[in-house]
Amino acid sequence: MKAGLYVGEKTVQSALIDKPIPGEGEALIRVAYAGICGTDMMVFSGKHPRAKAPLVMGHEFSGIIESIADHVSFKPGDRVTVEPYLTCGRCAACRAGQYHVCATLKCIGIDKNGGFSEYVAVPVDRLHHLPDNVSDDEAALVEPLAIAVHTVRRSNLKVGDSVAILGAGPIGLLIGLVAKQAGASEIFISDISPFRLQFAKELGFICVNAKETNIKEVVLARTDGIGADVVFEVAGTQSTAKQMVECIKFQGTIVVVSVYKQAPVVDLAAMHFREISLTTTRCANSNDFATAIQFMEKKLIDVRPLISHRLPIEQIKQGFGYMENTEISMKVLFHL
């Protein structure tokens, strides 16, 4: 079958490899579209602690069930997307039903071959049906949208709240779209890439170029010097880890979404005086996936404007090249 392979640091290539044979409890999926995520970029950089070449990356994908053992809800031919998480089922988090924070959480496309190939084997209990009116390309964004749903749920955002998002990458923008659904009154967003800020502007957010202006100045000016009710840190830098404390309102909630390459310094002293809540978020659960799919089905959230490139998997090198440059790309999808 056709595949896009990670073969070593900064090296991907198009290849023909054996079709996977699904194991017990797995279904075989014929992939339609698969998206490149920040985690794939980390694998590509050679810095992911678990990923080992040669590897088929890709954990954000849509497709059709090619084969599945007898199942009450799914059959061959069904259009699906997949929660890509591989969980142990035995740790305290798994037993509490919180499998997305499994103590030994693994992921399709990192710990085993993923969606940048014609076929992928996935656990049957991680499948989600796709409604007819959700297209294959937008369905490849169900996973990142589910992350955004989970993140906004973790924030306890309330109707009328003001929101600041630091980082207008795919995850930051999707958080903005979900926050709007959750009743945010005003959404500020910063980035250093004018190309990415243009997407944010078209989605109706108040944009700040972080190269020119500290977002705290804009947030404080527009909130009578009080700050935003909820701040999402989605850029993963030291300067945004500083700003998240500077733009939050007293008793507000900061949600750290970023996976930091280096642990940042955070001013906990400044937070204490204003009773700031600081929380984190990881992956998403089955409910978040169901909600993400519903948002697409009911046409409440359109993720398609975020897709900057659609390429055949044979062009995997170009795809990773585009994603390396935030001045020319947002979400890059491969079709299989």
Ligand X SMILES: NC(=O)c1ccc[n+]([C@@H]2O[C@H](COP(=O)([O-])OP(=O)(O)OC[C@H]3O[C@@H](n4cnc5c(N)ncnc54)[C@H](O)[C@@H]3O)[C@@H](O)[C@H]2O)c1
Q: Which residues bind Zn ion (CB under 5 A)?
A: 37, 87-88, 91, 94, 102
Nearer to Zn ion, 174 or 336 (CB): 174
| Interface map 140-159 toward ligand X (x if CB under 6 A) | -------x------------
Q: CA torsion, points 224, 227, 228, 232, in degrees to nearest 10?
A: 150
In the complex, least distance from residue 168 CB atom to ligand X, rounded to whole angstroms: 5
Q: Which amino acid is at 186?
A: E
Q: Are 239 and 215 in contact (CB under 8 A)?
A: no
- Rounded-to-integer distance, Cα 331 and Cα 58, Å: 13
Q: Which of 191, 248, 292, 333 binds ligand X (CB under 6 A)?
A: 191
Q: Is 272 exposed, middle or buried (0-12, 13-18, 19+ CB in 10 A)?
A: exposed
Distances (CA, A) of 322 to 7, 308, 310: 18, 9, 11
What values do phi and psi take at 181, rounded to 5? -60, -35
Find out whether the peptide bond into 312 is cis, omega within 30 degrees of 0: no
Nearer to Zn ion, 88 or 220 (CB): 88
| Interface map 15-54 toward ligand X (x if CB under 6 A) | ----------------------xx----------------
Name the binder of 88 from ligand X, Zn ion, none, CB < 5-8 A by kind: Zn ion
Name the binder of 171 from ligand X, Zn ion, none, CB < 5-8 A by kind: ligand X
Q: Are 230 and 158 in contact (CB under 8 A)?
A: no
H/E segment holding residue 248:
strand 248-256
Residue nearest to ligand X (CB): 169
Segment near ligand X (CB under 6 A); pick from 82-90, 262-270, 280-288, 307-315:
280-288
Segment near ligand X (CB under 6 A); pick from 7-15, 77-85, 186-194, 290-298:
186-194
| Interface map 101-140 toward ligand X (x if CB under 6 A) | ----------------------------------------
With binding defined as CB under 6 A, does residue 315 bind ligand X?
no
Interface of this chain with ligand X, residues 233 to 262, rule: CB under 6 A: 234-237, 239-240, 257-259
β-pairing, 79-82 with 307-312?
Answer: unpaired
Terminus-to-terminus CA distance in the chain, angstroms? 10
Q: CA torsion, points 304, 170, 193, 46, in degrees to nearest 10?
A: -130
Contact positions toward ligand X, by CB under 6 A? Answer: 37-38, 147, 166-172, 190-193, 196, 210, 234-237, 239-240, 257-259, 281-283, 326
